[in-house]
Structure 1
Amino acid sequence: MTQPDFGGNELPAVFPDWSPYQDLESAARAYLRDPDVALEALGGVLRGASVLGFTLERFVNEVNGVWQEVVVCDGSRLVLWHGEDVPPEEGPPGAMTSSLRVVPVSTVTEVGCRRRLTRTENGRIRVDSIDVYLLLTSLDESGSGEELPAGPRHDALRFGKTLDDGGAGQIARLEEFARLVASVVGRPVL
């Protein structure tokens, strides 16, 4: 099953699984469409810092084409890279944005993790999906709208995986990432 991108090329609708790869470079090369762009941007900030954990996301939608994200935790920072295709009316074929955000772990005030569990026919419990949020001290810049409550809201980083979108391996890796971030939140930085 494939889906065309803005350049007219066919992209697989189901991406390879990155969860077996323990190092960032191998996982990015297996999963992202543009791993060189992501790794160059991240490397410019990490500059040899130890990568304690990471999570990856990628999907294709009809409006913006391929959307990719990498989030790395080095113990004191979350380094987020985001790459997204530019819609045809906003740029030449194949154009994309590449952005980087660095969030000090000290600005994470809360880590939340919700797992949806189901019981299989043999009674075993299985994790079907996971939703993770990291609440930050910064304020959400999206403003207020009809669907949003009035007044300032804290910014949050949100991540999710399901059996259909990522599989059991990526669910486990996202939960591992959430636990890593939770373990360093509130600890003094050495």
Structure 2
Amino acid sequence: MTRSGFGGEMPAVFPDWSPYQDLDSAARAYLRDPDIALDALAGVLRGSTVIAFTLERFVNEVNGVWQEVVVCDGTRLVLWHGEDLPPGDGPPGSMSSSLRVVALSAVTEVGCRRRLTRTATGHPRVDSVDVYLLLSSIDETSVGPNGGSEESATQTVRHDALRFGKTLDDGGAGQIARLEEFARLVSSLVGRPMI
């Protein structure tokens, strides 16, 4: 099964990037538009050493392909996101390409939830992992009636967060392990003084 997109036909099941230890090889194996992603990242990294990364790609029934690369260079996270534009938002085959840089000092919490199942022999097996990085920046805030000046007013503050997930069906055991490795590395750096 294939679907059309920015780069032409693409398989609905993507190759596994987890065996590749370097970003260039992993991106070229997995992303539909690796040159666009790598060029955008290179403009920010400018020779910094990539110490960990994770990749994501899926097909959205409305927009087409959604792709993401998250790189850690020891002091920051550099995120590239590419997404096909929906019909009517540009000429056919149009996509967006965006970058976001987050200082590791802005990460206030790292969480990793594993879902375990038992094999037929009774051994535990990780069949999914969800990772979140809570940031100090505010994603959303709302204030109740009268601007929150009354005691009955409600106020909601939600911090920005980065979320990543892998399952056996979406990525496989190798990508689950690589995402856990990424989370452990970021966790080891959060809260440490940056030199």
TM bucket, shorter chain: over 0.9
Deviation at 1:5, TM superposition (A): 2.9
Unpaired runs of at least 5, structure 2: 143-153
Q: Is 2:6–2:95's contact at 8 Å kept on the other side of the alignment?
A: no
Counterpart of 1:80 in structure 2 is 79
Aligned length: 184
Deviation at 1:123, TM superposition (A): 1.2
Which amino acid in structure 2 is aligned with residue 29 of structure 1?
A: R
- In the alignment, the residues of structure 2 paired with residue 97 and residue 150 of structure 1 have an alpha-carbon distance, to the nearest angstrom, of 34
Counterpart of 1:133 in structure 2 is 132
Deviation at 1:172, TM superposition (A): 0.2
- In the alignment, the residues of structure 1 paired with residue 32 and residue 99 of structure 2 have an alpha-carbon distance, to the nearest angstrom, of 17
- Alpha-carbon deviations, 1:112-170, whole Å to 9, x = none? 000000010111111000000000000005x66xxxx9522100000000000000000
Q: After TM superposition, list the pairs within 5 Å mapping 1:92-131 onto structure 2.
A: 92-131=91-130
- In the alignment, the residues of structure 1 paired with residue 127 and residue 190 of structure 2 have an alpha-carbon distance, to the nearest angstrom, of 27
Q: Is 2:113–2:129's contact at 8 Å kept on the other side of the alignment?
A: yes
Which amino acid in structure 1 is aligned with residue 169 of structure 2?
A: D
Deviates more, 1:117-126 or 1:170-179: 117-126
The reply on whether 1:3 has 2:8 as its aligned counterpart is no
Counterpart among 130, 150, 156 of residue 151 in structure 1:
156
- In the alignment, the residues of structure 1 paired with residue 172 and residue 86 of structure 2 have an alpha-carbon distance, to the nearest angstrom, of 29
Q: CA RMSD for the aligned pairs? A: 1.5
Change (3 A) 1:6 1:26: closer
Which amino acid in structure 1 is aligned with residue 172 of structure 2?
A: G
Change (3 A) 1:88 1:74: same
Counterpart among 159, 184, 187 of residue 189 in structure 2:
184
Tell me the TM-score normalised to structure 1 length.
0.93
Other structure's SS at 1:27 match: helix
Other structure's SS at 1:176 match: helix
Identity of aligned residues (%): 79
Counterpart of 2:14 in structure 1 is 15
Counterpart of 1:168 in structure 2 is 173
Other structure's SS at 2:129 match: strand
Q: Is 2:10–2:32's contact at 8 Å kept on the other side of the alignment?
A: no
Other structure's SS at 1:89 match: coil
Counterpart of 2:146 in structure 1 is none
Which amino acid in structure 2 is aligned with residue 178 of structure 1?
A: A
Q: Is 1:6–1:87's contact at 8 Å kept on the other side of the alignment?
A: no
Q: After TM superposition, list the pairs within 5 Å mapping 1:6-45 onto structure 2.
A: 9-45=8-44
Larger radius of gyration: 2
- In the alignment, the residues of structure 2 paired with residue 167 and residue 64 of structure 1 have an alpha-carbon distance, to the nearest angstrom, of 24
